[in-house]
Amino acid sequence: MRVVSLLAPSVAYLLVMFVFPFAYGVLLSLRPKGGGVSLANYVAFFLDPWQARTIWVTASIAVPNTLLTVLLALIVAYAMRGGIWLERTITTMLVLPIALGTVLVAEGINGFYGPKGWLNQALLSLGLAEPTRLTHNYTGVMLALFVQHFPFCFLMLLGYISGIDPALEASARVLGAGPWAVFRRVMWPLIAPGVAIAGALVFVMNFGVFPSAVLVGQPAGATRTIAIAAYQEAFEHYDMSMASAIAVVMGVCQLAGLAVILFLRRRMAGTGVATMGAGKR
C-alpha cells in the first residue's frame, strides 16, 4: 500500500496530462465534420499531397538537425570532459541561448543573418554584390533549431560523460590503446545511452517545430511543417477533428523516430552494452 500511495501522484499526473489528452485527441480525430466515426480525416490527410508532404518536410528538418546537434554536442562535451581553460566561461556562453527563448533566438537570427543583417552588411562591405540568403527559408529554420537545442544536448552529454570514471580511460592508455581505440572500445559503450537519450529529446523537439518554422522559415512554402498544418486546420479552418488527426500522425512519427533511435543505440553500442553504467561514478 505504501508503494501505491507513493506512485499515485505520478500516475495521476501522467493520466491527466498525457494519457487523457492523447486519448481524447484520438477519439476526436475519428469524428470528422460529416459526422459518424471513421478514418476519413486520416484518409483525407494522406491523399492530399499538400498535407502529406508536411511529414517529409518536417523529417527533412528534424533528422539532419538532430544528427548535427548531437554530433557537435558530443564532440564539445567529450573535449571538455577532463576540464579545460576557461571551462565555466565557455560553458556559460554555450548554454546562454537557453535564457533567450524561441522568439528572441529567431529575432536574433533575423537580425544577424537576415537580408539587412550584420552578416550581409559585412559581405557587402567586402564587395560581394549578392550576399547569401540565410533566413526565411530552410537554412534559417535549421540555424534556429540548432541554437535552441544545442545547449540542452550539450549539458546532458557533458553531465553524462563527466560521470564516467577517468580510471577506465587511463587504464586503456596504459595498456597501449590509442585515442580512437579508447573512444570506440571503452568510452562509446558507456556514452551510448546518454547519446540516445539526448538524441531522442532533440528529435522530438525538432519534429514538433512550429515557431521557428514561422519566424525564420517559409510557413506557406518550403518549411510548412506538420505542426503548422495542424494549427491551420484548428485555427484557420476551425476543423478540430482534422487538426487532431494531423496531431496524432505527428505523434506516431515521433514514436517511430524514438523506436529507430533505441534500435540504433543497441546496434551502435555492440558488445559494450553489457558494461553500460559500469564506469559511472
| Phi/psi-derived region of residue 2, left when phi > 0, alpha when psi is between -120 and 50, beta in every other case | alpha
Domain membership flag for residue 66: yes
What's the length of the chain?
A: 281
Domain that holds residue 131: 48-275
C-alpha cell at 160: 553524462
The residues pairing with 280 across neighbouring beta strands, listed in sequence order, are 164
pLDDT of residue 90: 83
CB 97 within 8 A of CB 147: yes
- C-alpha 33/C-alpha 41 separation (Å) is 9
Query: So what's the pLDDT on residue 128?
Result: 67
- The DSSP bridge partners found for residue 164 are 280
Residue 188 burial (10 A CB sphere; 0-12, 13-18, 19+): middle
In this structure, is residue 116 part of a structural domain? yes
pLDDT tens digits along 198-231: 999 999 999 999 999 999 999 988 899 999 999 9
H-helix or E-strand spanning residue 159? helix 138-162
The pLDDT of residue 243 is 94
Q: Three-class SS string for 217-256?
A: CCCCCCCCCHHHHHHHHHHCCCCHHHHHHHHHHHHHHHHH
For the chain, the domain total comes to 1
Helix, strand or coil, per DSSP, at residue 75:
helix
Lowest mean pLDDT among 4-13, 124-133, 139-148, 170-179: 124-133
12 located within any domain = no
pLDDT value for 270: 57
pTM above 0.75, yes or no: yes
Residue 23 lies in a domain: no
Residue type for 90, please? I
Confidence of residue 69 (pLDDT cuts 50, 70, 90): very high
- Residue 231, phi then psi, degrees to nearest 5: -60, -45
**Do 183 and 166 contact (CB within 8 A), yes or no?**
no
| Mean pLDDT of the residues in the chain | 87
pLDDT at 246: 95
Res. 273: pLDDT tops 60 = no
Distance in angstroms (rounded) separating the CA atoms of residues 55 and 249: 9
Averaged pLDDT, 153-166: 89
Q: In a 10 Å sphere around its CB, with 0-12 CB exposed, 13-18 middle and 19+ buried, how is residue 118 labelled?
A: exposed
Residue 3 phi, psi (nearest 5): -65, -40
Does residue 67 lie within any of the structural domains?
A: yes
The better pLDDT of the pair 143, 92 is held by 143
Contact 272, 189 (CB under 8 A): yes
With respect to residue 253, please indicate whether it lies within any of the assigned structural domains. yes
Q: Which CATH number belongs to the domain containing residue 262 in this structure?
A: 1.10.3720.10
- Domain membership of residue 171 (yes or no) is yes
Mean pLDDT of 97-110: 86
Contact of 157 with 195, CB cutoff 8 Å: yes
Is the pLDDT at 277 greater than 60, yes or no? no
The enclosing H or E element of 161 equals: helix 138-162
In a domain, 40, yes or no: no
* DSSP letter, residue 280: B
